[in-house]
Amino acid sequence: MVEQGIENPRVGGSIPPPGTKISKPLMLKEFQGFFGYGPIHLSPNWYRKVVQMAIMTQPWKHPRSGIYYFRREVPHDIRHIIGRREWKRSLKTRDLALARPRFAAELAHCEEMFTAARAQLSGQTKVLASDAPKLADRWAKQVMEAWEHDERLLENFTAQTSTVSSSNSLALSGNEIAPASDFVDGDDFSARARAVLGFIKETLDRERLPVPDGTDLAYSALINTFFARWCDLCRIAHRRTTGDWRADLQLPDAQKPLTSEKEQAKATGPKLSSVLDAWAEDKRLTDGENRSTTKTIAEFATTVTRFIELHGDLPVSAITRGTVQEFRNSLGKMPTRGKGLKGMTAPELIAKAEAENLPTASLGTVKKQLRALSTILNFAYRRLGVIHEEPVSASGIIRQLNKAAQRAPLRQDEEKAYTWSELIQIFTSPVFKGEWKPTRADYGEAFFWLPLLYIYTGARREEMAQLLVADVLQEEETGIWYLYVRNEEDQRLKTGSSRRKVPLHDDLIELGFIEYVSSLPQQGRLFPKLSVHPNQGYGHNFGKLWSKYLKEVVRLNSKASPNHGFRHAFKTLCRQAAIDEYVHDWITGHAAANVGATYGTNPLSRMKQEIDKYPSIAKSAGLIP
């Protein structure tokens, strides 16, 4: 019934040619381990897979050289990580008896690499058992180099050796740990683990690698190799403390790359910094050389710099979903406030935040930075074609952050609006009584008028700071004064909906705002003494000094942002005054809630009617009767 087929030594039979029908009894006898139960028709495609399985689960003998090989097809889902379609290694023998144990060892190594690749694909980094000698040698080399720079570290090491060995019941011969070979598996493994686990964790943390699970083969390999090196270091330390500085240790694996480093070395294509430069050039050509473009490029460059400080300037093809996950974790540990943060690198910032328990980045901040990285990598994916996927989007991490942000309760440091009592404290402070002016720079009337414009219009900081005198207008039909917020000359708006006409509240007119405008040259700026920052615009320097003024002069203790707190407070006061939402959305430049809201125009008379409902902060603060 079985025609001539391909020999299958594993089951002691042969695989029949395509088209052969196999009955259940024959299948159980001849092909156990290959097929299931019931009659099966071998199609050509299925037949090819069975033949491939038979070849790749046993040593394969080359038909010409007679040398045995390990051969296995790399699964499609991890092929781009492994970098090949087939895992093929020479077993370097023509003797099947020698080939079989070598095949088993190579099979274990292959499985470990496949597992590591899948862990990397799912957003994890994995330590392999083959990395253990390299990590142990790197640790030992670092310890010995430290001894040479500071002999006190050698003395500390020898003192700790006695403590660790006695507490872990490890045998001592004189002042030296007994050779590692004297210890066998069993009860001694837990003692070895207690002795060196701290060194392992410290080394893995430095290499940005996770500690393997206790059931993982790599875990026991790390314990054994680190313990062996620890024993070696103990003997070297004992000799050096007695004056024998010729005692040395050979560390053959210290310079060998880890598996993860090999994968990065195999990655080709431009580095992340080069892709950032290419993206920035493209954005300038597309959006033009303006302050908004410069600001966006600077913000994205900051995110890329943080990534490089944490992970190195990797080729973009080496940035995986796992790398993105590690970066996301690091971003969540970055401090948002604290003294002396300026100029520190990302690792230094994280260490400082942990040591001083500083407030760390919110989900929104992390999401914003990941979107910046996503934009750069998407440029490499779609425009340059140098990576097979955009790993930030592919990981789904931004969608996850969106959901988490929706579920997360409001944190205390996210209460963004000034309270009414805080507003009164601000507008009864010295600058509004003519009792305070900046000491180092002349900001003109900006310190008086800008905070008032912010709280009465809900505008963004830069929208008011960049206004021209010509942007203060009066409608002929109604006589209503308004501000024209628009893109002109070097003025920049955040979104298209930000272009708008904003009616002036009567309090501003009564305080003398129109008289102030009339005193300025018609072709000039509304706040001519504000200097422009190349990236942050006209409001940047004002914002820094305003924040300092609130803290040091007003002594304001508020969770609200010094400038943006006015925008949030404006929206809150509009809702309390029952001002129509579409009106205060238009005034603040927020996008329309639906398509219908974008049709037609918003008459100034209707907006003025609503803004007249807004409470008089100036009267409550005593600025006007």
Residues in Cβ contact with 573 at an 8 Å cutoff, skipping those fewer than 6 apart: 614, 615
Query: How do the domains of the chain map onto residue ranges?
Result: 6-121, 129-257, 272-413, 420-620
Give the mean model confidence (pLDDT) for residues 341-345.
86
Residue 591 Cα distances to 172, 235, 482, angstroms: 75, 72, 20
Q: What pLDDT is stored for residue 564 in this prediction?
A: 84
pLDDT digits over 368-379, tens only? 999 999 999 999
CB-CB contact of 192 with 136 (8 Å):
no
pTM comes to 0.49
pLDDT digits over 590-616, tens only? 655 544 455 446 788 888 988 999 999
Q: What pLDDT is stored for residue 218 in this prediction?
A: 84
pLDDT digits over 173-191, tens only? 444 444 444 443 445 788 8
- Identify the CA nearest to 565 among candidates 555, 556, 575: 556
Buried b (16+ CB within 10 A) or exposed e, 190-225: ebbbebbbebbeebbeebebeebeeebbbbbbbbbb
pLDDT digits over 51-70, tens only? 454 445 678 899 989 999 99
Instruction: End-to-end CA distance of the chain: give it in Å, rounded.
Output: 110
SS (H, E, C) 548-612: HHHHHHHCCCCCCCCCHHHHHHHHHHHHHCCCCHHHHHHHHCCCCCCHHHHCCCCCHHHHHHHHC
Residue 37: pLDDT band (50, 70, 90) is very low
One of 2.40.40.20, 1.10.443.10, 3.30.70.640, 3.40.50.300 is the CATH number of 420-620, namely: 1.10.443.10
Q: What pLDDT is stored for residue 57 in this prediction?
A: 63
